Chain A
């Protein structure tokens, strides 16, 4: 029988890193405060003590140096797992992410590839100071050559992180900050992988599909609960891999329900919701009973904490959107 433990998402991530370091000596963790401090969220707690400062590395404070050198480390035979302390600070490394990590395979016509994982906490709901809550997944999903994934449960966090570490291509692994300690789940202690590129049907339903990912999955689930008490059956799909999208699972669901609401924290304009909606109408046009609708952050920078509750999509807004498509 599998050994399992009840873990929070941050513990599941810590366990995945621990397992990867123990299993594969090429794996190393690098970033700001990941060493003795164990990461500002404790994702790397205990790893420095266990694996030493050559494999769990506090770097100088420079994101471009972290990602750029991790590209070199990956090319040189290591398996770096880099941490960007908060996703908002990845802009410092944007060039290395976009013109380098994601393109080396293409530029070298397959000679080189970059097995690199960049982990970063993201998203709102925890009242951080400025810049710490940004959701930037759309910027990265726009970059060919880079995979973008985000778990919403402890089980998926561990399985997707291990799959990301094993993946031959660069993966941006986005960790919803507000779910780090939001709940526990049974997680096997052994190595297991949740394949990248596969969405997950969280619950089945017939009337409308709520499509969400990362921090918005629990919001969509709560909305589905609330709709259920009004006699509406909502299917909830967790996208999980944002690039490449699992359009098959999404299309199947929407073909069945005929209605879709896409929920994400990121700003609306040019957000992933637009991409998903466009793809779905191309693939399921004749099954649609209503326009595909988005519930998103507004087109402003992420606000200061005092206003964030009004800014973030919440159950009320998701329900209102579901009712809109149901009564269209």
Chain B
């Protein structure tokens, strides 16, 4: 088997922003909407980076470069479908309805960022690599058991494919025929470790063969390819035709997190080459070249994005701090006798104005 032939990269818009495939499933208006989203998300991501540098938020994991995959996946879902993603997947969550200020709140270390709005069918962002992939299988399985036409999608990185949880999830979903879509965002690095050291397979997608499920490889920087592929995949999975593994080949434009320095491990020329064809520039180029949007509209989108992000920063910074003793409130459904006692002790410390508490949030 030649995996690169068996799993050809699905591409609709090439790196230069030229149409090389079929875009019949997607209107000009929708593409313009995607550009609007990309602009807002990119603005937010860059602002978050700056806020961290200014000490206004803590560690932040940027998603720049991965907007096409995250938005394309989220846009292909129905509101009742589940999304189980990682710390890097705020773009997908925001597209699904999580307010823009949530990732900021999260990086401010605020507990409230864990509670995503009830209307958004998603689990809190996952820090433990690959754990959420199994949750998606269970959510999908539950939907199947209850006769619901829901699918569950898991987003995870290339590094996650080395964990047992990834392989166990694919196998279990296959055995149970659980309506799960596994989306690997192969951004080619897991912190400093390049994909070539993560696996000796040529593609992530080919791993589907071992579990007898469908595998696809898509250009993850091409919103047209991701969205149209995901639409088809989600329909298939919803119709009960078994789980699917989608490898979205993408690139993280920035550092792993604000605590990371990618120049230590990414050669400069490679970095420069891989940035070509990043999703926002690619889509914008296409839309401008075909007169679907104008320069003025692009400039206006950028202005609007800036205003939205300004407002998000304001909301995050104005968010009321959690009382310290609230740390006890969601350990169990009810406070245990021990927790009740400890909560009272902390409340006493807080109200006595004890100096120990330092920064609050």
Q: Which residues of A contact B (CB under 8 A)?
A: 32-33, 35-38, 40, 58, 60-62, 64-65, 88-89, 91-92, 127-132, 268-269, 298-301, 303-311, 314-317
Contact = CB atoms under 8 A, between A and B. Distances in A.
Contacts of A36: 192, 264-265
Given A37-B192, A299-B331, A311-B327, A306 B108 contact: yes
Contacts, number: 133
Interface in B32-87: 58-59, 87
Across the A-B interface, give the 7 residue pairs with the lowest CB-CB distance, nearest first: A306-B361, A305-B109, A37-B192, A60-B162, A309-B358, A310-B324, A61-B159
Nearest to A269: B338
Contact of A316 (B163, B193, B324, B354): B354
Interface residues of A, dominant DSSP: loop
A307 B324 contact: yes
B265 to A, nearest CB: 5
B162 A62 contact: yes
Contacts of A92: 128, 163-164
Given A40-B191, A309-B359, A298 B354 contact: no
Nearest to A62: B162
Contact of A61 (B198, B349, B350, B356): B198
B356 A316 contact: yes
A132 B342 CA distance: 23
A263 B113 CA distance: 31
Contact of B197 (A38, A58, A88, A130): A58
B129 A306 contact: no
A310 B350 contact: yes
Contacts of B264: 36-38
A40 B163 CA distance: 19
B51 to A, nearest CB: 14
B289 interface: no
Contact of B59 (A38, A65, A128, A317): A128
B147 interface: no
Contacts of B129: 61, 89
Contacts of A300: 327-328, 331, 339
A321 to B, nearest CB: 12
B14 to A, nearest CB: 31
A60 B356 CA distance: 41
A91 B350 CA distance: 33
A131 B127 contact: yes
A49 to B, nearest CB: 12
Contact of A310 (B59, B191, B197, B356): B356
B241 interface: no
5 contacts: A33-B192, A36-B264, A61-B162, A89-B128, A300-B339
Contacts of B58: 127, 129, 305
B356 A309 contact: yes
B360 interface: yes
Contacts of A61: 129, 159-160, 162-163, 190, 193, 198
Contacts of A40: 191, 259-260
A120 B163 CA distance: 19
A60 B327 CA distance: 35
B321 interface: yes
A36 B267 CA distance: 12
B321 A306 contact: yes
Contacts of B114: 304
B310 to A, nearest CB: 22
A61 B256 CA distance: 15
Given A65-B162, A300-B328, A300-B339, A35 B350 contact: no
A60 B129 CA distance: 12
Contacts of A306: 108-111, 321-322, 359-361
A301 B329 CA distance: 11
Given A60-B199, A303-B327, A316 B160 contact: no
A316 B191 contact: no
B346 interface: yes
A128 to B, nearest CB: 7
Nearest to B346: A310
B47 to A, nearest CB: 19
B333 interface: no
A132 to B, nearest CB: 8
Nearest to B329: A300
A306 B346 CA distance: 15
A309 B349 CA distance: 12
Interface string B188-216: 00111100011100000000000000000
B162 A310 contact: no
Given A38-B264, A307-B322, A58 B193 contact: yes
B264 to A, nearest CB: 5
A33 B261 CA distance: 12
Contacts of B113: 304
B291 interface: no
Given A307-B111, A310-B324, A317 B162 contact: no
A53 B197 CA distance: 11
Interface string B318-353: 000110101110010000101100100010011000
Contact of B346 (A91, A131, A298, A315): A298
A316 B322 CA distance: 22
Interface string B6-36: 0000000000000000000000000000000
